[in-house]
Structure 1
Amino acid sequence: MYDYHCHTTLSDGSMLPIELIRRMSVLGYRSVAISDHVDATNLEVVIGAVSRLKRSASLFDVDLLCGVEITHVPPEEIPGIAREARELGAEVVLVHGETVVEPVAEGTNAAAVSSPDVDILAHPGFLSHADAIIAAENGVFLEITSRNGHNRMNGHVLGMARETGCGLVIQSDAHDPRDLLDRDAKWLVGRGAGMTEAEVEKAMQYKMDSVNRF
């Protein structure tokens, strides 16, 4: 069990980082990234804070990866922020994609999938076929999300992934305890998006590490 898109009090979540880890541990998760919202102002603070939690997470049998979700940053600045995140120690880099329920700048998806430092494009909304092709070529995974509002486009994202060969991850984008998914709930998110059982099973097997990524 993995989830690389979780938020805490380091940005707009309601859980302390260690509370999130404990709750994930009880649900059976062994690989987790805290990926709070970042821009140029808080990048170093968030990465440093999560890095200090690694030992505590290991005592709950959770492999904690230091993540970030680059959010509402001008597309032109996304590659630089992603590269800086890596240099500061981020092990998982997400970009907050062009969801249909927030005013994300046009061009964010394209900037994200073109960056060699981005791992996951979160809730990308009306992802274009051209951007999906680039994501597949660069190994940027697309997110199937349970997050209310963002999940409206799961079917479209799945279609783009099937057409282009993009990898898919199923994630919670959790901000509160009620957002966390047990295995059955995670399975239903994938199936509800239209994924086959085989596609869900494949998506649920992915695991990241700080060296080899997916």
Structure 2
Amino acid sequence: MSGKLSGKVVAITGAASGIGLACARECLEAGARVVLVDRAAGELEKLRAELGQNAIPVVVDLLDPASVATMMPQILEKAGQLDVFHANAGSYIGGDLLDSHPDDWDRMLQLNVNAVFRTVHAVLPHMVERRTGDVVVTSSVAGHEPIHWEPIYTASKNAVYAFVHATRRQFAKHGVRVGMVSPGPVMTALVQDWPKENLDRAIAAGNLMDAKEVAEAVLFMLTRTRNVTIRDVVILPAGFDV
């Protein structure tokens, strides 16, 4: 255990799997108490048993505004404070625009965009009051470079990019750092929704990263001295070319 986050409370959305779970493991290893925010109550209970007493499950459905409103009160009740909030949960729709349905776009946009806005809005008053805190948002390389096979997903991540950096500039004066980690393709459940030819090609070329690579980058962001803000980290597999 490195102890780099000893005494800190970190909350991560989408923590039951993928990048969120990898980040939870990394923060626990660094000495933090980690609030695992997810709607998958059964998975959270399994993870609490596996990860130990410093893993704190909080069940929230990010697609339900009423449920989101319970998130911060639950965090404070169970952990007493919040030092780091990682808005990580998201979903993916790729492929030809005409092959997807607007109703599916709405669900993705609610999770990738609105839930990020709502959850960050919910945690900021606590951080402002304490005059310290970190907000990290999981975005994507698609937030920096339009990816032609995922136009709606790209649009969602561009919205997040604008939100993160406008918010970062508003809240720096309160001692709150806001930044974004933007991976290329990561081997998680989300890439299973890729067009099959794209996924097969990426696997064959070795152009998918492990979620641990993202988690290590997030830990780097969180452990800089308070006079330093890492505003953007873009992480790509070596052979991935956009």
TM class by smaller structure? 0.3 to 0.5
Point out the structure with max Rg over C-alpha.
Answer: 2
Q: TM-score, normalised by structure 2?
A: 0.41
Q: TM-score, normalised by structure 1?
A: 0.45
More helix by percentage:
2
